[in-house]
């Protein structure tokens, strides 16, 4: 079983992942993700790369430590010729268009070098970023999770009461049963029925 950092959100149920260029922390994609058998996450659909993110500052020691770690990551990027802005109070770093950055060899090299400094997003930040779902969207999230669990992915995560999933979530999307469950349940969230190989 592999570990996925996922943030479940019906606001993006039809999109697949566009991972951020930030590096090892896996927090480049921001909020608005749903675990799928295709890749474990789905994109916000913005096409812009951010590291961390959110609207409100302050908070507990975990958040403060996260923001400081993001500052160290930004410093590393700057030392490697990337003009990265300071992180905001929740560690958000706006880097620009992800597709453009991935074609920039200077950024790719800097990102790889600085990746060990890029921390994972704390659950508290995920909660701050989580979209407010409508009752119908929340119902969809629960229906999808129930379908997945009943059709071959019993370890698929249950959403919380607000329809989102927070923190490190483990579920195995690589089994034949899980892939079949994804095909069976795809219509619930509007995903294509034929999905690629899982790497959850």
pLDDT tens for residues 22-56? 333 444 433 444 554 444 433 333 444 555 544 44
pLDDT for the residue numbered 140: 95
Using pLDDT thresholds of 50, 70 and 90, give the confidence band for residue 190: confident
Using pLDDT thresholds of 50, 70 and 90, give the confidence band for residue 79: very high
What mean pLDDT comes out for the span 4-25?
34
Computed over every residue of the chain, the mean pLDDT equals 75
pTM > 0.95: no
Using pLDDT thresholds of 50, 70 and 90, give the confidence band for residue 74: very high
What mean pLDDT comes out for the span 7-30?
35
Nearest of 31, 59, 19, 28 to residue 130 by alpha carbon: 31
pLDDT for the residue numbered 168: 74
Percentage of the residues of the chain whose pLDDT score is greater than 90: 50
pLDDT at 199 over 90: no
What mean pLDDT comes out for the span 51-80?
80
pLDDT at 179 over 70: yes
pLDDT for the residue numbered 5: 35
Give the pLDDT confidence of 127-158 residue by residue, as tens digits.
888 889 999 999 999 999 999 999 999 999 99
pLDDT for the residue numbered 126: 86
């Amino acid at each position: 079983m592999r570990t996925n950092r996922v943030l479940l959100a019906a606001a993006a149920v039809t999109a697949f992942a566009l991972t951020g260029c930030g590096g090892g922390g896996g927090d480049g994609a921001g909020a608005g993700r749903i675990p799928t058998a295709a890749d474990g996450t789905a994109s916000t659909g913005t096409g812009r790369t951010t590291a961390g993110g959110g609207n409100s500052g302050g908070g507990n020691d975990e958040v403060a430590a996260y923001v400081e770690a993001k500052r160290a990551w930004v410093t590393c990027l700057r030392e490697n010729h990337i003009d990265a802005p300071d992180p905001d109070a929740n560690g958000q770093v706006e880097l620009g268009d992800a597709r453009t950055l991935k074609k920039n060899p200077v950024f790719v090299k800097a990102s790889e070098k600085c990746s060990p400094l890029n921390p994972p997003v704390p659950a508290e930040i995920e909660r701050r970023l989580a979209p407010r779902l409508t009752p119908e969207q929340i119902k969809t999230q629960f229906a999808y999770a129930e379908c997945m669990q009943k059709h071959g992915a019993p370890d698929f995560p249950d959403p919380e009461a607000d329809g989102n999933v927070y923190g490190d979530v483990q579920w195995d999307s690589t089994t034949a049963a899980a892939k079949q469950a994804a095909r069976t349940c795809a219509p619930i969230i509007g995903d294509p029925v034929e999905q690629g190989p899982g790497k959850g």
